[in-house]
Chains A and B, each alone.
Chain A
């Protein structure tokens, strides 16, 4: 599958084919190794990507649960009371997204699960194994995803997973479609050097700073690289 560089990646082009049938306003595909080693595919919706960043910052939310448990997670209304208290309190009141369906991207591309995850919390233990990311579809109105729609999304996630692993093997995926944003890693490296510590410890400091300053982890990283926030201020908050 060849495409001009400005075209969306093939995964998002496949998703677009089902947009009308399922009905979503926004979609993001995140490839992840762990909670802090992750990247959204180029062309993903920036608002949903920001909501994923917020979950990464707070270490809780539907995306993290879907990734960890390997099961779909549905949220009927992001502005309602949620089982993730920090996320609930930190969700911006003007976030336009209301209903979301988060599907794990599993390897091997799994068959549709018999438990469509119609819960607002983590799935039961024994869920399928390692995930390589999540696919999140969002609607800008309170309109919960139905079981049939989740079933279609589950198939779509399987196709997206297959495409991702195929393109990862050629190196194209990381080189072209998830590479541009390494802000968090760079800022963590700077802070690690400043503090004489590890990148993991640096990310913990950044997470704390981001939480207290009302930013996301990636937002703070960008601010550091743009010179808006000094590395020293993150290292030694006043």
Chain B
């Protein structure tokens, strides 16, 4: 999901690339500014209404706060194999994830699992660590990277990836600020997911109740009979009960069971797949 099209904040920050963490200069002021920015970030993330909003705000703010960052994305890795973009401020961040999945190599598939932060000065020169990815670095469009671990759960991973427009765009300060941002984001993402879990449980209960009520009124069923009908349909369709219920509540129609095919159709299909049978006969 792109953040870039949703507002002007991310793109306006691109012009601030390479600036110190606080625009007003001196070290003490810079630290104060950073502390203030991080406190703002924490509040913004906590007040986000959904997990997606948390992710969107995190990547936008990361670009704004981390010196050298031009683009950011949050990558979710499943089974150390598939890298998906959960949020991104630019197509470059998403392309990086696509390439890692396609090529089976890249920082999110190894380095970020074991290191809280991984800095890549120039992706095209990483010919030893990720040769295939290095060869196609031009497709990402931004040469340097700072990858920050959000969480590791077995073979699953969440990472905040920052991309810089120049080689070696990220320095120690970038890394320190990036780690602080990532820490805030990790906590907020975990909290938002837990909250969504709680709310989803209630929502599922509600929609299943509504579907039961619809069936009870329509077919004069008891609550148990209505629930049994939904459960059977859920099994037949191999879909979750709350999904079947949500369909019924939204459309007023029960999802249809797959129709059994007539026997003659089975036979002809069988023959078509085995033409040698006819020849043998």
Please list the residues of chain A having a beta carbon within 8 angstroms of any beta carbon in chain B.
31-33, 36-39, 107-108, 128-130, 132, 164-166, 168-169, 171, 173-174, 178-179, 182-194, 196, 199, 225, 231
Choose, from B27-35, B128-136, B172-180, B204-212, the stretch at the interface.
Answer: B204-212
Pick the 6 closest A-B CB pairs, nearest first.
Answer: A189-B213, A185-B209, A174-B201, A182-B209, A129-B47, A189-B210
* Contact sample, A vs B, 8 pairs, CB 8 Å cutoff: A32-B202, A37-B199, A108-B187, A128-B46, A169-B194, A173-B198, A193-B217, A194-B217
Task: State the main secondary structure of chain A at its contact with B.
Answer: helix
Please list the residues of chain B having a beta carbon within 8 angstroms of any beta carbon in chain A.
46-49, 187, 191-192, 194-195, 197-199, 201-218, 223, 249, 252
Docked pose: A38 CA to B202 CA in angstroms: 7
From B49, B198, B211, contact of A189 by CB (8 A): B211
B199: chain A residues within 8 A (beta carbon): 33, 37, 132
From A33, A165, A189, contact of B212 by CB (8 A): A189
Whether A37 contacts B218 by the Cβ 8 Å rule is: no
Task: State the main secondary structure of chain B at its contact with A.
Answer: helix
Docked pose: A132 CA to B198 CA in angstroms: 7
B216: chain A residues within 8 A (beta carbon): 186, 189-190
From A164, A169, A192, contact of B210 by CB (8 A): A192
A203: nearest residue on chain B (CB-CB)? B210
Q: Known: A185-B213, A186-B212. Is A129-B202 also a contact (CB below 8 A)?
A: no
B214: chain A residues within 8 A (beta carbon): 189-190, 192-193
Docked pose: A164 CA to B182 CA in angstroms: 25
Given A171-B201, A186-B213, A189-B249, 11 new contacts (CB under 8 A): A32-B202, A37-B206, A128-B47, A174-B202, A178-B205, A182-B205, A185-B213, A190-B217, A192-B210, A193-B218, A199-B249
